[in-house]
Amino acid sequence: MIDISFSETEARRLLYPIAQVLPVADLRLGVTTIREKWALAFALNPHLKASQVSVPANVLPFPHVIDMLLSNSLQNIPEEFQIRHAWELNQLNDQLIRSDFESISRTRSSAPVPKDVIARNPKDIFIEPGASIYGGWLNAEEGPIYIGKNVLIMEGVSIRGPVAIAEGTVVKMGTRIYGGTTIGRFCTVGGEIKNSIMQDFSNKAHDGYLGDSVIGRWCNLGAGTSNSNLKNTAGDVEVWSQADQAFHIAGKKAGLYMGDYSRSAINTSFNTGTTIGVSCNVFGPGLTPAFMADFTWGYSPAAKFEFNKAIEIISNWKKLKNNTIEEQEIQILKHIFEQSLKTN
């Protein structure tokens, strides 16, 4: 039996604001979480012996990494094999959906595509038991489509792969989802989404655009919220790195990077390459600033979220999905809040 442990501290620091509360190993990329990808890699590789293995949580089990593990050199992983910035998550996602889909479909059979759904390349569409799809279009000609258990896809939805939609999520009428997108468990989504990742229990339930972005857990984007992912100059986008306390070039396209428990007011316009910390309430005139620190209340002017009020609001959001906040979460959030007082 393989016992895999994950070193989290450095990975969490590098991947701010994503997975500051959730372990990095439990981030969903592609179809599965990082933890699940490693478990499958060990299960499929007969050369990996039963033992206890420690893995950096920001390293994925690509073949070259497995080779390093087999040669006992995993402690010296080159930076190019590590995920070192939040924007690299959505940049990798297209590739990861394809590789995860191949693993899932290799040994299992999909539920049938409903007759009233227009499906292109149905052999690359995998539907888990309990999923309900009411009409619409599933186009897997340019990449596979994975639809998880008990997903509800309402009328008129258009999905162009590669796309992964995890268990229990609701895709509202008329939603358009483009390639490179992963929607986590028990989310609600609508509008237009492209090349983005939403972690579990988050909502983008209304019209608006989300592109080249990564959204944490328990976030809510208000109706009409949109983000920019391309500068008007078509130049390089710079994104804030909390680890380096500096902006770094993320490429030509970079959208919104939002930490757990944050939310935006209706019609919020997120600037290109925006970073929003943990438990922020985003509202204010015009485009958002490029960076909002943890527990920020509004902008222009910005204030500090009262901790007890933040916990009350998080509890209210969790109740909407029949969930409750646990004491361990409160203590982690309290630590993040106290750290934010020292850095602001």
pLDDT score for 285: 93
- The number of CA neighbours under 13 Å toward the Cβ of 34 is 24
Nearest to 275, CA basis, from 301, 311, 235, 237: 237
Which residue, 67, 84, 101, sits at the end of a domain?
A: 84
Mean pLDDT confidence for 144-159? 98
pLDDT score for 44: 79
The verdict on 150 and 197 lying in the same domain is yes
Which residue, 30, 62, 84, sits at the end of a domain?
A: 84
Nearest to 277, CA basis, from 333, 208, 211, 201: 333
Q: Which residues contact 167 (CB under 8 A, 6 or more apart)?
A: 128, 148, 149, 150, 151, 185, 186
Judged against a pLDDT cut of 70, whether residue 50 lies above it is answered with no
- What is the number of structural domains in the chain? 2
Which residue, 41, 64, 84, sits at the end of a domain?
A: 84
DSSP assignments along 106-143, one per residue: HH--PPPPPTTSEEESGGGEEE-TT-EE-S-EEE-SSS
The verdict on 184 and 108 lying in the same domain is yes
The verdict on 97 and 61 lying in the same domain is no
Q: What pLDDT, in 10s, does the model give residues 6-15?
A: 999 999 999 9
The verdict on 80 and 162 lying in the same domain is no
Report residue 47's pLDDT band, with 50, 70 and 90 as the boundaries. Answer: confident
Report residue 76's pLDDT band, with 50, 70 and 90 as the boundaries. Answer: confident
pLDDT score for 73: 65
In a domain, 257, yes or no: no
* Buried-state track 228-258, b at ≥16 Cβ within 10 A, e below 16: bbbbeeeeebbbbbbeeeeebebeebbbbbb
In a domain, 50, yes or no: yes
The verdict on 116 and 159 lying in the same domain is yes
- From residue 115, how far is each of 43, 124, 237, 270, 341 by CA, in Å? 36, 16, 44, 39, 56
Judged against a pLDDT cut of 70, whether residue 52 lies above it is answered with no
Distance CA(111)–CA(150), nearest Å, equals: 12
In a domain, 8, yes or no: yes
The domain containing residue 191 runs over which residues? Answer: 86-201
What CATH number did the domain enclosing 149 receive? 2.160.10
Whether the full predicted model's pTM is greater than 0.85, yes or no, is: yes
The verdict on 65 and 170 lying in the same domain is no
Report residue 281's pLDDT band, with 50, 70 and 90 as the boundaries. Answer: very high
Whether the CA torsion 253, 265, 187, 316 is positive or negative: it is positive
Mean pLDDT confidence for 229-257? 96
Distance CA(161)–CA(97), nearest Å, equals: 9
The verdict on 72 and 134 lying in the same domain is no
Average pLDDT, the chain: 94
Mean pLDDT confidence for 256-275? 98
In a domain, 274, yes or no: no
The verdict on 54 and 141 lying in the same domain is no
Mean pLDDT confidence for 73-97? 89
Judged against a pLDDT cut of 90, whether residue 247 lies above it is answered with yes
In a domain, 337, yes or no: no
